Each structure stands twice: as C-alpha cells, then as structure tokens.
Structure 1
Amino acid sequence: MITNFLNYLQYEKRSSIHTVSAYENDLKQFNQFCLNHLGVNEEDFDSTQVKFDTVRAWVVQLIDNKITPRSVNRKIASINAYYKFLLQKELIAELPTKKLKALKLSKRLPSFVKQQEIDHLFNPSIFAENKYPDRDRLIIELLYGTGIRLSELINIQVADINFANNTLKVLGKRNKERLIPLHQELIESLKSFIAIQNKSEAAYLITTPKHNKAYPSMIQKIVKTYLSKVSSSEKKSPHVLRHTFATHLLNNGAELNAIKDLLGHSNLAATQIYTHNSISRLKKIFNKTHPKS
C-alpha cells in the first residue's frame, strides 16, 4: 500500500519529488521499527493492523535517539498522512495516529546575510578566480534577486524569462506558478549569460559543465563556496539567500503580503518569521536614536 500512497502523492496531490522521497524514507523507517518492535517477518507484517501503542513507541524511540523535534514532527506528519490515506480507502476503521501530538518547537529565526556582506559578495573579484564565474554569479544573483527556492532555480528554462515585461515564471510547491519581477541589473546579467552560452528557449538556464540539468548538491556547493568568502554565518545555503531576500525587502519597507506572494507562501504565517529580524533591527535603531533610550 505504500507504493499506492506514494503514487497518490505524486500524481494526485502533485507533491514534489523531494516531498515524495521524504515520505518514502519516513515510511520505510517506520515499517522497519514495526518489524523489530512487533517481532514479525516482513511477509507477515500488515501496516493496516498497527495500533496507537506501536506508533507511540516509535516516536519515543526517535526522541531517545536525539532526533530533533522538527524532524520527529515531519515523520509524524508522514505516518499520519499515510494512515489518513488508508482510512480514505476504507482499509482501516480508525487512525492509529489519532492521539498523537506534535512536539513543541523552539522558535527558529531564519539566518540571513548582512547587507554589507551582500554588497561585498557581488564584487567582480569574488567570482574571477573560479572556473565558471558567469554561471556562478548568475546563480547567486537569481537566488538573492528573486528569493526563489533551490528546486525552482534548477528548473528554470530560458523560455520562463520574459524580457518584454522583466518577469520570471517559476513553478513552485504543488506545481503553483508565479511571476517574479526582475530588477534591471539581473535582466542584463541574464541577457548576457544567455547570449554567451547561446542557449535556446527550451534549454535549462543553469547547467553542468557538460550541459546537463543542474542538480541540488551542485548549487549548494557553489553557494557555500561564495558565501564562505564574505560571511561568518554558520549556515551558507541557497535557502539562506532566500531568507536574505525576504529580510532585506522587509527592512526596506516592503509589505509583508507582497513578500508572501514573491516567496510563493500559501499563507501569511510562513512569511511572518521575517518580522522578528526586522523588529530586532528597529530596536537597535530606537536605542541609538531615541533621546530617552
């Protein structure tokens, strides 16, 4: 039934490949735990017969193994989604996960790169020493200049760029399309890169040296290399540039709803994490400038 569930996620729910893969891994881990916990062979195991006590024991083991609460909650969500699928198919009478509660999470503020570090990052000398400076710079420019996700970046085709109205079309989570405005400097970089690389409209914008589609670890390595040159922040990932895009917009007066739409968030709650960084900045300004502070 796991295969049917994964097909349902991919083809009916239109979940991303990464989401389907995460669900698959969580379900495999849970099944292995059930085999050990119940003392049965794989041939004799029936996931529809699992009870709450077994699910609870699994969560306890995850906590004992020092799995972070955020990861535990994701695994709980995976198992809960699977059993809701079985309930919908009338293969079980009730959810074994019904009494399960998510673990409390400490608030985690998004990491971002400071404005002066970003300014230094786009100094031509930063990219000059590397083998593919134009490609690498464009990757950084796109991530910081648009706030797109890593998965959205590697799927951009030349045809997705509209030079007539200076917008970029990206395919986000759950296959939701959105248009993102492009600033003039990024437009010029894109035009120059496409012309130099002689790319057709059907081609992927960012590719490997052998002209294959880029892959996540390649982009992650490139971003980490360049952020390491300018930032002392512990986290140096493509998502940090997404956080930086949102934080800098908010600090410069952008409305939260506009940032939500640019990021492709489905609700405002996901975007509100950036207000914490903005409030910290306002406090510093207040303490420096208010006569009574």
Structure 2
Amino acid sequence: MEADRGTVTPDNAHRAGNQAAITQFLSMLAAERGAAANTLSAYARDLNGAAAIVGDLVMADRAALARLGEAWSGLAPASLARKASALRQFYAFLVDDGRREDDPGDALPRLRPRRPLPRLLSHGEIAALFALAEADAATGEPAALRMLALIELLYGSGLRASELVSLPMIAVPRDAPFLTITGKGGQQRMVPVGERAGAALRQWLCVRPAGGRHVFPSPRGGHLTRVRLFQLVRELALRAGLDPEKVSPHVLRHAFATHLLEGGADLRVLQTLLGHADISTTQIYTHVDGARLVTLVNQRHPLAHHAA
C-alpha cells in the first residue's frame, strides 16, 4: 500500500538525516577550513551520490561502503580519490561531532591518483627568457615593461596566474617588500617580492595607464585575462628560442618552487609561499629534486659521518 502523504517513511527519514548532516559538514568546511565554493559543490555532489547508493549515509556500515567501491569501479582515479576523500572527511566529522562512535572510512577505496610531475625549465632556459624580456624592457615600451613585471612576479614570487592578473593596486604597499595575495578559498598570504621583481614592478607602475583598480589593467576594462597572460608568455618563449609548448605561467611558478628547493628552501616555507593548503601538494617538488635531497641527508644528518 502506498504511504499516506506526509507519512514519515524510513527512506524519507534517511534522506532528511543525510541532507542535514551533509549541510552541517559543508558549513564546517566553509567556516573552519575556508573551503572554496567549487570544492563545496563537488563534495555535495559526491556525498549525495553516495547516499543514493547506500541509503542511510550517516549510519552506513563497512559493508554498505564496500558497495560504493563497486559502484565507483569505472571512475577515473582522480574522481575516485576525490569521492573517497569526501566520504572520509564526512565520517571523521560525524565522529568528532559525536554522531558516530566508529569511523567506517577505512572501508572506502584508497586508490590515490598519480600526480604528474611538473614540466621544468632549466636555469639556462630561465636565463634566456629573462634576457630577452630585459632587452625588450630597455626600450621603455609600456608593453615590454609590463611583460617583464609579469614574468618577474611569476618566477620571482611564485604567483598563480589568476592571482597575478587580478592583483589589485591596494595589494602593493609602497615600502614593504611584500604583496598581499588572496588565493584559493579566499585565503590571504604575504608573498615576498625580490629586488628584481620589485624594480620591474616599479618601472611598470610608472607607465601603467591611469585609472582602474588592478595592477595589470585591460584596455577593455577590468584586468588582464589569464588567457592573454598565457599567450604573452608563450610569445616571449618562442622569441627566446624556447619550445613554447614547454612554457606557461604555471611552469614559471613550478620553476620558482623547484629552484628555491634546489637552493635549500624549507618545504614548509615553500608551502606558505605557494599558498598550498596541504603540504602533500608541495611535496611533489621533492620528486623533481630527489638527487639534491639525498645529498643533503648525506651531508647534514648528524650520523652521516660516523663510521658504520
């Protein structure tokens, strides 16, 4: 017999309980961890999709979660890892909140996607790129001065392309050698500006068109776009004799991180400079400079010079 309208069925109760718990979990992520809107949206889809498979998501046991692994078996590794991560964080939240005594998250698949190693530019390639940009800037042409300031901030301060093009004038203090950057999830950080980048930035600001709130304004209003920045960097790379397919704003950010690590920078400091929320994101750079890290351990460890 069909349930009367308004009757609370087990399925309805589960749906209501799931939705309330998911909403509270997402609110916690936003308030305590500053999770970005895209992250919250993706987690909401993942959790609601899991609930559609197991029913009572809040009180699901390990056998129910094992069914998720079967249902997700055809997903790409990155999608599978994200969904499992969302569920694990959800159950950790339920335990912390006192709604569960056990955490069934270990029943979820633990396949981790292989993070691709970043494309790298050698010191020689960086030198060739900057030699051309500096020669162009010596002409005093505004476009050339802007180009030099852009690549100095990408390679000299490790900014993301989106952070660079949207940089507001109020983020550039007159005296302090720092920029105030608003990164992913609205998180702010202070980024040091080296002498070279600072000099290039001051030169650009002297010829920058008046008006507008952005350091790199667009003639059409607003700010320079990420697409246009990408084009400018590749055009410069081509003229410098480099493979343009190998060079991009993000590759310059990778070069900033890799070359700092080569110079002895601490991984935690690098995490702060890059604006990574999780140290595991920064750890990719340990793979691209493994030889130097082995040498560092052999030279600096207290027991390195003791006889075996």
Shift of residue 108, structure 1, vs aligned partner: 4.6
**Structure 1 residue 146: Cα displacement:** 0.5
- Matched with 2:41 is 24
User: Where do residues 158-177 of structure 1 align in structure 2 (5 Å cutoff)?
Assistant: 158-172=169-183, 177=188
Provide the identity percentage: 27
Q: Distance in 1 between matches of 2:215 and 2:93?
A: 38
* Counterpart check, 1:189 vs 2:200: yes
Q: Using the alignment, how far apart are the partners of 1:54 and 1:153 within structure 2?
A: 46
* Alpha-carbon spacing, 1:132–1:106, altered in 2? closer, same or farther (3 Å): same
Q: Against the structure 1 CA distance between its residues 107 and 209, is the aligned structure 2 distance closer, same or farther, given a 3 Å change threshold?
A: same
Partner of 2:274: 263
The answer on whether the counterparts of 1:26 and 1:75 sit within 8 Å (CA) in structure 2 is yes
2:157 to 143, 146, 162: 146
CA offset at residue 105 of structure 1?
5.3
Task: Quote how far apart the aligned CAs of 1:157 are.
Answer: 2.1
Question: Which residue does 2:250 correspond to in 1?
Answer: 239
Report the Cα distance in structure 2 between the residues aligned to 1:60 and 1:234, rounded to whole angstroms.
Answer: 39
Post-superposition offset of 1:266: 6.6
Determine helix, strand or coil for the equivalent of 1:212.
coil
* Equivalence for 1:274: 285
Could you tell me whether the CA contact under 8 Å between 1:113 and 1:233 is conserved in 2?
no
Contact 1:30 1:58 survives alignment (8 Å): no
Amino acid at match of 1:256: D
Report whether the alignment pairs 1:212 with 2:236: no
Once structures 1 and 2 are overlaid, which stretch shifts more, 242-251 or 6-15? 6-15
1:8 is the counterpart of 2:28: yes
Of residues 237-246 and 46-55 in structure 1, the stretch that sits farther from structure 2 once superposed is 46-55
Change (3 A) 1:94 1:215: farther
1-structure distance, mates of 2:101, 2:290: 49
1:170-195 deviations in Å (ceiling 9; x for gaps): 24566654433323332232123333
TM-score (norm 1): 0.68
1:58 counterpart residue number: 68
Q: Is the 8 A contact 1:111 1:243 kept in 2?
A: yes
Which stretches in structure 2 are left out of the alignment for 5+ residues? Answer: 1-18, 295-308
The Cα of 1:14 is off from its aligned counterpart by 1.9
* Distance of 2:175 and 2:181 partners within structure 1: 17
2:45 corresponds to which letter in structure 1? Answer: K
Tell me: higher relative CO, structure 1 or 2? Use CA pairs within 8 A at least 6 residues apart. 1
Aligned length: 267
* Cα distance in 1 for residues equivalent to 2:93 and 2:224: 34
Q: Secondary structure of the residue that 1:102 maps to in structure 2? A: coil
Match of 1:112 in 2: 120
Partner deviation per Cα, 1:132-158 (whole Å, 9 max, x = no partner): 655455333211111123454355322
Deviation at 1:244, TM superposition (A): 0.5
TM-aligned CA distance change 1:33 to 1:146, over 3 Å: same
Contact 1:113 1:231 in 2 (8 A): no
Q: Of the two, which has the highest radius of gyration? A: 2
CA distance in 2, matches of 1:228, 1:6: 45
Shift of residue 245 of structure 1? 0.5
How many Å separate the matches in 1 of 2:230 and 2:119?
16
Structure 1: give runs of 5+ residues left out of the alignment: 39-44, 284-293
